[in-house]
Structure 1
Protein backbone atom coordinates (compact mmCIF):
# COMPACT_ATOMS: atom_id res chain seq x y z
CA UNK A 1 0.00 0.00 0.00
CA UNK A 2 1.36 3.42 -0.95
CA UNK A 3 2.17 5.83 1.89
CA UNK A 4 -0.32 8.68 2.40
CA UNK A 5 0.65 12.20 3.45
CA UNK A 6 -1.11 15.44 4.29
CA UNK A 7 -0.39 17.80 1.39
CA UNK A 8 0.35 21.52 1.77
CA UNK A 9 0.29 23.40 -1.59
CA UNK A 10 2.66 26.37 -1.62
CA UNK A 11 3.98 28.87 -4.14
CA UNK A 12 7.51 27.70 -3.44
CA UNK A 13 9.66 24.57 -3.69
CA UNK A 14 11.10 22.85 -0.62
CA UNK A 15 14.34 20.85 -0.78
CA UNK A 16 15.72 18.20 1.60
CA UNK A 17 17.72 19.73 4.44
CA UNK A 18 16.37 23.26 4.00
CA UNK A 19 14.46 25.13 6.71
CA UNK A 20 10.92 26.31 5.95
CA UNK A 21 9.12 28.50 8.53
CA UNK A 22 5.35 28.84 8.05
CA UNK A 23 2.58 30.95 9.56
CA UNK A 24 -0.56 28.82 9.79
CA UNK A 25 -3.84 30.75 9.87
CA UNK A 26 -6.39 28.79 7.80
CA UNK A 27 -8.51 26.45 9.91
CA UNK A 28 -7.84 23.41 7.72
CA UNK A 29 -4.09 23.78 8.20
CA UNK A 30 -4.52 24.47 11.91
CA UNK A 31 -6.22 21.07 11.95
CA UNK A 32 -3.21 19.62 10.13
CA UNK A 33 -0.84 21.02 12.77
CA UNK A 34 -3.03 19.66 15.58
CA UNK A 35 -3.03 16.26 13.87
CA UNK A 36 0.77 16.23 13.63
CA UNK A 37 1.29 17.38 17.21
CA UNK A 38 -1.06 14.64 18.48
CA UNK A 39 0.91 11.83 16.79
CA UNK A 40 2.61 9.38 19.18
CA UNK A 41 6.22 10.03 20.12
CA UNK A 42 8.57 8.49 17.60
CA UNK A 43 6.13 8.89 14.70
CA UNK A 44 7.48 11.16 11.92
CA UNK A 45 5.59 14.46 12.03
CA UNK A 46 5.73 15.09 8.28
CA UNK A 47 3.53 16.62 5.63
CA UNK A 48 4.13 17.02 1.93
CA UNK A 49 4.98 20.42 0.47
CA UNK A 50 4.08 20.61 -3.22
CA UNK A 51 4.52 23.66 -5.43
CA UNK A 52 1.44 25.05 -7.14
CA UNK A 53 1.61 24.74 -10.91
CA UNK A 54 -1.26 27.15 -11.54
CA UNK A 55 -4.40 28.44 -9.87
CA UNK A 56 -5.05 28.91 -6.19
CA UNK A 57 -6.72 27.12 -3.32
CA UNK A 58 -10.43 27.73 -2.87
CA UNK A 59 -11.43 28.44 0.75
CA UNK A 60 -13.02 25.40 2.36
CA UNK A 61 -16.46 25.88 3.95
CA UNK A 62 -16.61 25.41 7.72
CA UNK A 63 -20.40 25.23 7.92
CA UNK A 64 -21.60 22.06 9.71
CA UNK A 65 -22.45 19.37 7.21
CA UNK A 66 -21.23 21.40 4.25
CA UNK A 67 -19.23 19.58 1.59
CA UNK A 68 -15.81 21.01 0.83
CA UNK A 69 -15.41 22.40 -2.69
CA UNK A 70 -12.52 21.09 -4.72
CA UNK A 71 -9.37 23.18 -4.54
CA UNK A 72 -9.01 25.23 -7.70
CA UNK A 73 -5.34 24.40 -7.96
CA UNK A 74 -3.04 22.35 -10.13
CA UNK A 75 -0.03 20.86 -8.35
CA UNK A 76 3.35 19.67 -9.51
CA UNK A 77 3.75 15.95 -9.04
CA UNK A 78 7.12 15.99 -7.21
CA UNK A 79 7.38 17.46 -3.73
CA UNK A 80 9.35 17.22 -0.51
CA UNK A 81 8.20 16.34 2.97
CA UNK A 82 8.45 18.96 5.70
CA UNK A 83 9.26 17.60 9.16
CA UNK A 84 7.74 19.57 12.01
CA UNK A 85 10.51 20.77 14.33
CA UNK A 86 8.98 23.66 16.30
CA UNK A 87 5.41 24.76 17.01
CA UNK A 88 4.28 28.01 18.62
CA UNK A 89 0.55 28.36 19.19
CA UNK A 90 -0.68 31.96 19.18
CA UNK A 91 -3.52 33.22 21.44
CA UNK A 92 -6.05 33.29 18.57
CA UNK A 93 -5.33 29.71 17.52
CA UNK A 94 -2.91 30.43 14.69
CA UNK A 95 0.47 28.72 14.64
CA UNK A 96 4.03 29.66 13.79
CA UNK A 97 5.91 26.53 12.86
CA UNK A 98 9.41 25.67 11.76
CA UNK A 99 9.93 22.71 9.44
CA UNK A 100 12.87 21.10 7.69
CA UNK A 101 12.77 19.42 4.29
CA UNK A 102 13.37 15.72 4.61
CA UNK A 103 12.66 13.46 1.60
CA UNK A 104 11.42 13.76 -1.97
CA UNK A 105 8.30 12.07 -3.23
CA UNK A 106 6.06 11.82 -6.26
CA UNK A 107 2.31 12.34 -5.86
CA UNK A 108 0.38 9.45 -7.34
CA UNK A 109 -3.10 10.41 -6.12
CA UNK A 110 -4.67 13.44 -4.42
CA UNK A 111 -7.69 13.25 -2.11
CA UNK A 112 -9.59 16.45 -1.28
CA UNK A 113 -12.53 14.79 0.49
CA UNK A 114 -11.40 12.59 3.38
CA UNK A 115 -9.80 15.39 5.45
CA UNK A 116 -10.24 19.16 5.74
CA UNK A 117 -6.84 19.48 4.03
CA UNK A 118 -5.53 17.69 0.96
CA UNK A 119 -3.93 14.29 1.35
CA UNK A 120 -2.11 12.23 -1.23
CA UNK A 121 -0.67 8.83 -1.95
CA UNK A 122 3.04 9.10 -2.68
CA UNK A 123 6.02 7.11 -3.82
CA UNK A 124 9.37 8.00 -2.30
CA UNK A 125 12.19 9.26 -4.55
CA UNK A 126 15.44 8.35 -2.83
CA UNK A 127 18.60 9.83 -4.29
CA UNK A 128 19.88 6.96 -6.48
CA UNK A 129 23.49 5.83 -6.47
CA UNK A 130 25.68 4.95 -9.43
CA UNK A 131 26.85 8.42 -10.51
CA UNK A 132 28.81 9.43 -7.41
CA UNK A 133 32.07 9.84 -9.36
CA UNK A 134 30.42 12.16 -11.87
CA UNK A 135 28.76 14.15 -9.07
CA UNK A 136 32.12 14.47 -7.32
CA UNK A 137 33.63 15.88 -10.53
CA UNK A 138 30.76 18.30 -11.15
CA UNK A 139 30.49 19.63 -7.59
CA UNK A 140 33.70 21.76 -7.59
CA UNK A 141 32.75 23.32 -10.96
CA UNK A 142 29.26 24.17 -9.75
CA UNK A 143 30.66 25.49 -6.48
CA UNK A 144 33.06 27.78 -8.33
CA UNK A 145 30.29 29.22 -10.53
CA UNK A 146 28.00 29.59 -7.52
CA UNK A 147 30.66 31.56 -5.62
CA UNK A 148 31.02 33.86 -8.65
CA UNK A 149 27.25 34.24 -8.79
CA UNK A 150 27.14 35.14 -5.07
CA UNK A 151 29.90 37.73 -5.52
CA UNK A 152 27.93 39.35 -8.34
CA UNK A 153 24.76 39.34 -6.25
CA UNK A 154 26.53 41.02 -3.33
CA UNK A 155 28.17 43.57 -5.62
CA UNK A 156 24.81 44.40 -7.17
CA UNK A 157 23.58 45.50 -3.73
CA UNK A 158 19.96 45.94 -4.87
CA UNK A 159 18.55 42.95 -3.00
CA UNK A 160 17.47 42.56 0.59
CA UNK A 161 18.90 39.04 0.46
CA UNK A 162 22.52 40.23 0.10
CA UNK A 163 23.39 39.58 3.76
CA UNK A 164 21.80 36.13 3.61
CA UNK A 165 23.75 35.29 0.47
CA UNK A 166 26.98 36.38 2.14
CA UNK A 167 26.24 34.02 5.02
CA UNK A 168 25.47 31.19 2.60
CA UNK A 169 28.81 31.70 0.81
CA UNK A 170 30.65 31.10 4.07
CA UNK A 171 28.83 27.83 4.80
CA UNK A 172 28.79 25.97 1.50
CA UNK A 173 28.82 22.18 2.00
CA UNK A 174 31.18 19.85 0.16
CA UNK A 175 28.76 16.93 -0.14
CA UNK A 176 27.48 17.04 -3.77
CA UNK A 177 23.85 16.17 -2.92
CA UNK A 178 23.61 18.64 -0.05
CA UNK A 179 25.30 21.30 -2.21
CA UNK A 180 22.87 20.70 -5.06
CA UNK A 181 19.88 21.17 -2.76
CA UNK A 182 21.30 24.31 -1.14
CA UNK A 183 22.04 25.95 -4.49
CA UNK A 184 18.60 25.08 -5.84
CA UNK A 185 16.95 26.65 -2.80
CA UNK A 186 19.04 29.83 -2.48
CA UNK A 187 19.79 30.95 -6.04
CA UNK A 188 17.36 33.50 -7.50
CA UNK A 189 15.55 31.03 -9.75
CA UNK A 190 11.96 30.72 -10.89
CA UNK A 191 9.62 28.22 -9.27
CA UNK A 192 9.69 26.29 -12.54
CA UNK A 193 13.50 26.08 -12.50
CA UNK A 194 13.49 25.01 -8.87
CA UNK A 195 10.82 22.42 -9.55
CA UNK A 196 12.87 20.88 -12.36
CA UNK A 197 15.87 20.69 -10.03
CA UNK A 198 13.83 19.02 -7.30
CA UNK A 199 12.53 16.47 -9.80
CA UNK A 200 15.99 15.71 -11.26
CA UNK A 201 16.67 11.99 -11.32
CA UNK A 202 19.93 12.17 -9.39
CA UNK A 203 22.57 14.51 -7.97
CA UNK A 204 24.73 14.55 -11.10
CA UNK A 205 21.75 15.54 -13.28
CA UNK A 206 20.83 18.28 -10.80
CA UNK A 207 24.39 19.63 -10.69
CA UNK A 208 24.64 19.70 -14.50
CA UNK A 209 21.41 21.68 -14.69
CA UNK A 210 22.62 24.07 -11.98
CA UNK A 211 25.86 24.63 -13.85
CA UNK A 212 23.85 25.82 -16.86
CA UNK A 213 21.45 27.93 -14.77
CA UNK A 214 24.16 29.59 -12.69
CA UNK A 215 26.28 30.34 -15.76
CA UNK A 216 23.23 31.99 -17.34
CA UNK A 217 22.41 34.00 -14.21
CA UNK A 218 26.03 35.09 -13.68
CA UNK A 219 26.24 36.25 -17.30
CA UNK A 220 23.02 38.27 -16.89
CA UNK A 221 24.27 39.84 -13.67
CA UNK A 222 27.56 40.71 -15.35
CA UNK A 223 25.75 42.48 -18.19
CA UNK A 224 23.49 44.41 -15.80
CA UNK A 225 26.51 45.64 -13.85
CA UNK A 226 28.07 46.85 -17.11
CA UNK A 227 25.24 49.37 -17.59
CA UNK A 228 26.91 52.79 -17.00
CA UNK A 229 23.90 54.43 -15.29
CA UNK A 230 21.99 53.57 -12.10
CA UNK A 231 19.29 50.99 -12.76
CA UNK A 232 16.70 53.28 -11.16
CA UNK A 233 17.20 55.71 -14.04
CA UNK A 234 16.22 52.99 -16.49
CA UNK A 235 12.94 52.21 -14.72
CA UNK A 236 9.78 53.00 -16.66
CA UNK A 237 6.68 53.98 -14.66
CA UNK A 238 3.96 51.40 -14.87
CA UNK A 239 0.75 52.60 -16.47
CA UNK A 240 -2.36 52.50 -14.32
CA UNK A 241 -4.32 51.23 -17.31
Structure 2
Protein backbone atom coordinates (compact mmCIF):
# COMPACT_ATOMS: atom_id res chain seq x y z
CA UNK A 1 0.00 0.00 0.00
CA UNK A 2 1.29 3.45 -0.95
CA UNK A 3 2.17 5.58 2.07
CA UNK A 4 -0.04 8.67 2.29
CA UNK A 5 2.70 11.22 2.97
CA UNK A 6 6.03 11.62 1.17
CA UNK A 7 9.32 11.07 2.97
CA UNK A 8 12.59 12.94 2.36
CA UNK A 9 15.09 11.14 0.15
CA UNK A 10 18.83 11.10 0.81
CA UNK A 11 20.62 9.69 -2.28
CA UNK A 12 24.12 8.50 -1.37
CA UNK A 13 26.56 5.97 -2.87
CA UNK A 14 25.81 3.57 0.00
CA UNK A 15 23.23 0.87 0.66
CA UNK A 16 21.70 0.89 4.15
CA UNK A 17 20.19 -2.28 5.61
CA UNK A 18 17.41 -2.62 8.21
CA UNK A 19 18.74 -2.17 11.78
CA UNK A 20 22.08 -0.88 10.50
CA UNK A 21 23.62 1.94 12.55
CA UNK A 22 24.50 4.81 10.21
CA UNK A 23 26.75 7.72 11.26
CA UNK A 24 26.38 10.76 9.00
CA UNK A 25 27.90 14.22 8.77
CA UNK A 26 25.29 16.68 7.47
CA UNK A 27 26.80 19.78 5.87
CA UNK A 28 24.92 20.67 2.67
CA UNK A 29 22.21 23.35 3.14
CA UNK A 30 19.47 21.17 1.59
CA UNK A 31 20.19 18.32 4.00
CA UNK A 32 20.44 20.69 6.94
CA UNK A 33 16.89 21.71 5.99
CA UNK A 34 15.89 18.06 5.69
CA UNK A 35 17.15 17.34 9.22
CA UNK A 36 15.38 20.43 10.52
CA UNK A 37 12.11 19.17 9.01
CA UNK A 38 12.65 15.69 10.50
CA UNK A 39 13.28 17.16 13.95
CA UNK A 40 10.27 19.47 13.69
CA UNK A 41 8.08 16.48 12.88
CA UNK A 42 9.54 14.68 15.89
CA UNK A 43 8.65 17.62 18.13
CA UNK A 44 5.06 17.29 16.90
CA UNK A 45 5.08 13.63 17.86
CA UNK A 46 5.32 12.46 14.25
CA UNK A 47 7.82 9.99 12.82
CA UNK A 48 9.39 11.19 9.59
CA UNK A 49 11.98 8.70 8.33
CA UNK A 50 14.76 9.60 5.93
CA UNK A 51 14.70 7.56 2.75
CA UNK A 52 18.25 6.30 2.26
CA UNK A 53 18.51 5.38 -1.41
CA UNK A 54 21.40 4.44 -3.66
CA UNK A 55 22.33 7.46 -5.77
CA UNK A 56 24.17 10.75 -5.66
CA UNK A 57 23.21 14.42 -5.63
CA UNK A 58 19.66 14.47 -7.12
CA UNK A 59 20.12 11.25 -9.11
CA UNK A 60 18.35 8.19 -7.72
CA UNK A 61 19.85 4.90 -8.91
CA UNK A 62 18.05 2.34 -6.75
CA UNK A 63 14.38 1.39 -6.79
CA UNK A 64 14.39 0.07 -3.22
CA UNK A 65 15.82 1.94 -0.25
CA UNK A 66 15.78 1.84 3.53
CA UNK A 67 13.79 4.24 5.72
CA UNK A 68 16.31 5.45 8.30
CA UNK A 69 15.14 6.82 11.63
CA UNK A 70 17.06 9.60 13.35
CA UNK A 71 18.42 7.98 16.50
CA UNK A 72 20.63 10.71 17.93
CA UNK A 73 22.17 14.08 17.15
CA UNK A 74 25.77 13.86 18.32
CA UNK A 75 27.03 17.34 17.47
CA UNK A 76 25.58 20.63 16.26
CA UNK A 77 27.99 23.25 14.97
CA UNK A 78 27.57 27.01 14.75
CA UNK A 79 27.35 26.90 10.96
CA UNK A 80 24.47 24.40 11.07
CA UNK A 81 26.46 21.26 10.35
CA UNK A 82 25.47 18.16 12.30
CA UNK A 83 26.86 14.77 13.19
CA UNK A 84 24.02 12.30 13.57
CA UNK A 85 23.37 8.62 14.14
CA UNK A 86 20.59 6.95 12.19
CA UNK A 87 19.18 3.45 12.31
CA UNK A 88 17.89 1.56 9.30
CA UNK A 89 14.20 0.70 9.43
CA UNK A 90 11.74 -0.70 6.89
CA UNK A 91 12.58 -1.05 3.24
CA UNK A 92 10.58 0.88 0.67
CA UNK A 93 10.02 1.05 -3.06
CA UNK A 94 9.74 4.47 -4.69
CA UNK A 95 6.41 5.18 -6.39
CA UNK A 96 6.80 8.86 -7.22
CA UNK A 97 9.44 11.53 -6.63
CA UNK A 98 8.74 15.20 -5.89
CA UNK A 99 11.28 17.97 -6.45
CA UNK A 100 9.41 20.89 -4.86
CA UNK A 101 11.80 21.28 -1.92
CA UNK A 102 15.58 21.79 -1.83
CA UNK A 103 15.85 18.04 -1.17
CA UNK A 104 14.00 15.23 -2.93
CA UNK A 105 10.86 13.67 -1.50
CA UNK A 106 9.09 10.48 -2.52
CA UNK A 107 5.84 8.66 -2.03
CA UNK A 108 6.82 5.12 -1.18
CA UNK A 109 5.41 1.65 -0.73
CA UNK A 110 6.97 -0.30 2.11
CA UNK A 111 8.48 -3.70 1.34
CA UNK A 112 8.24 -6.69 3.68
CA UNK A 113 9.61 -10.20 3.45
CA UNK A 114 7.44 -13.10 2.40
CA UNK A 115 6.54 -15.24 5.39
CA UNK A 116 8.80 -18.26 5.60
CA UNK A 117 10.91 -19.80 8.38
CA UNK A 118 14.62 -19.13 8.22
CA UNK A 119 16.62 -22.24 7.31
CA UNK A 120 18.98 -22.68 10.31
CA UNK A 121 21.36 -24.84 8.27
CA UNK A 122 21.66 -22.14 5.61
CA UNK A 123 22.20 -19.46 8.26
CA UNK A 124 24.92 -21.53 9.94
CA UNK A 125 26.57 -22.13 6.56
CA UNK A 126 26.63 -18.41 5.78
CA UNK A 127 28.06 -17.51 9.20
CA UNK A 128 30.74 -20.22 8.93
CA UNK A 129 31.70 -18.97 5.47
CA UNK A 130 31.95 -15.41 6.77
CA UNK A 131 34.22 -16.53 9.62
CA UNK A 132 36.43 -18.30 7.10
CA UNK A 133 36.49 -15.16 4.96
CA UNK A 134 37.49 -13.05 7.98
CA UNK A 135 40.32 -15.49 8.69
CA UNK A 136 41.56 -15.23 5.11
CA UNK A 137 41.46 -11.44 5.24
CA UNK A 138 43.41 -11.45 8.50
CA UNK A 139 46.10 -13.60 6.89
CA UNK A 140 46.43 -11.22 3.96
CA UNK A 141 46.07 -7.87 5.76
CA UNK A 142 47.14 -8.67 9.31
CA UNK A 143 43.89 -7.17 10.60
CA UNK A 144 40.90 -9.05 11.99
CA UNK A 145 37.32 -7.81 11.94
CA UNK A 146 35.09 -8.53 14.92
CA UNK A 147 32.12 -10.53 13.68
CA UNK A 148 30.01 -10.86 16.83
CA UNK A 149 26.69 -12.70 17.00
CA UNK A 150 24.94 -12.70 13.63
CA UNK A 151 21.27 -13.61 13.37
CA UNK A 152 20.31 -12.83 9.77
CA UNK A 153 21.57 -12.08 6.27
CA UNK A 154 21.49 -8.30 6.66
CA UNK A 155 23.75 -8.52 9.72
CA UNK A 156 26.15 -10.78 7.83
CA UNK A 157 26.18 -8.41 4.86
CA UNK A 158 27.01 -5.42 7.07
CA UNK A 159 30.39 -6.92 8.04
CA UNK A 160 31.19 -8.18 4.55
CA UNK A 161 33.00 -6.12 1.93
CA UNK A 162 30.25 -6.40 -0.67
CA UNK A 163 30.15 -4.02 -3.60
CA UNK A 164 27.15 -1.73 -3.99
CA UNK A 165 25.49 -3.83 -6.68
CA UNK A 166 25.46 -6.94 -4.49
CA UNK A 167 24.28 -4.98 -1.44
CA UNK A 168 21.44 -3.48 -3.47
CA UNK A 169 20.42 -6.92 -4.73
CA UNK A 170 20.27 -8.22 -1.15
CA UNK A 171 18.20 -5.21 -0.07
CA UNK A 172 15.66 -5.88 -2.81
CA UNK A 173 15.23 -9.60 -2.05
CA UNK A 174 12.05 -10.47 -0.15
CA UNK A 175 13.04 -13.78 1.44
CA UNK A 176 15.62 -14.32 4.16
CA UNK A 177 16.63 -17.70 2.74
CA UNK A 178 17.17 -16.12 -0.67
CA UNK A 179 19.55 -13.58 0.84
CA UNK A 180 21.42 -16.27 2.78
CA UNK A 181 21.75 -18.38 -0.36
CA UNK A 182 23.10 -15.38 -2.30
CA UNK A 183 25.65 -14.69 0.44
CA UNK A 184 26.80 -18.32 0.44
CA UNK A 185 27.30 -18.15 -3.33
CA UNK A 186 29.31 -14.94 -2.94
CA UNK A 187 31.53 -16.51 -0.27
CA UNK A 188 32.08 -19.59 -2.44
CA UNK A 189 33.42 -17.32 -5.18
CA UNK A 190 35.58 -14.98 -3.10
CA UNK A 191 37.16 -17.35 -0.53
CA UNK A 192 39.24 -19.35 -3.08
CA UNK A 193 40.61 -16.07 -4.45
CA UNK A 194 41.64 -14.95 -0.97
CA UNK A 195 43.16 -18.36 -0.24
CA UNK A 196 45.32 -18.02 -3.35
CA UNK A 197 46.31 -14.49 -2.34
CA UNK A 198 47.18 -15.75 1.14
CA UNK A 199 49.48 -18.39 -0.32
CA UNK A 200 51.24 -15.75 -2.41
CA UNK A 201 51.55 -13.56 0.68
CA UNK A 202 53.17 -16.40 2.65
CA UNK A 203 55.59 -17.13 -0.20
CA UNK A 204 56.54 -13.47 -0.46
CA UNK A 205 57.07 -13.24 3.30
CA UNK A 206 59.28 -16.34 3.29
CA UNK A 207 61.36 -15.20 0.31
CA UNK A 208 64.96 -14.63 1.43
CA UNK A 209 64.30 -15.95 4.94
CA UNK A 210 64.75 -19.68 4.41
CA UNK A 211 68.27 -19.73 5.81
CA UNK A 212 71.63 -20.42 4.12
CA UNK A 213 73.24 -23.78 3.56
CA UNK A 214 76.99 -24.33 3.50
TM-score by shorter chain over 0.5: yes
Q: 1:42 to 1:151 in 2, by over 3 A?
A: farther
Aligned-partner Cα distance in 2 for 1:45–1:217: 39
Aligned-partner Cα distance in 2 for 1:220–1:200: 26
2:53 pairs, out of 43, 50, 53, with 50
List per-residue Cα deviations over 1:22-76 (Å, max 9, x = no partner). 1011100000000011113542241100012xxx42xxxxxxxxxxxxx3x2421
1:80 pairs, out of 28, 53, 66, with 66
Aligned-partner Cα distance in 1 for 2:137–2:198: 10
Structure number, greater radius of gyration: 2
* 2:23 corresponds to: 21
Contact kept, 8 Å, 2:95 with 2:108, in 1: the verdict is yes
| 1:20-39 superposed matches below 5 A | 20-39=22-41
* 1:146 corresponds to: 130
1:172 aligns with 2:149: yes
List per-residue Cα deviations over 1:117-152 (Å, max 9, x = no partner). 00111111112212x15x323101111111111111
Question: Deviation above 6 Å: which 4+ runs of structure 1?
Answer: none
TM-score, length-scaled by structure 2 = 0.87
In structure 1, stretches of 5+ residues that fail to align are: 58-70, 231-241
SS at match of 2:204: coil
Contact kept, 8 Å, 2:112 with 2:174, in 1: the verdict is no
* 2:208 corresponds to: none
1:157 aligns with 2:156: no
List per-residue Cα deviations over 1:84-113 (Å, max 9, x = no partner). 01112111111111101011111111112x
In structure 2, stretches of 5+ residues that fail to align are: 206-214
1:204 aligns with 2:188: no
1:5 CA displacement: 1.1
Aligned-partner Cα distance in 2 for 1:74–1:106: 12
Contact kept, 8 Å, 2:53 with 2:60, in 1: the verdict is no
2:92 pairs, out of 105, 109, 129, with 105
* 2:80 corresponds to: 93
TM-score, length-scaled by structure 1 = 0.78
* 1:60 corresponds to: none
SS at match of 1:226: helix
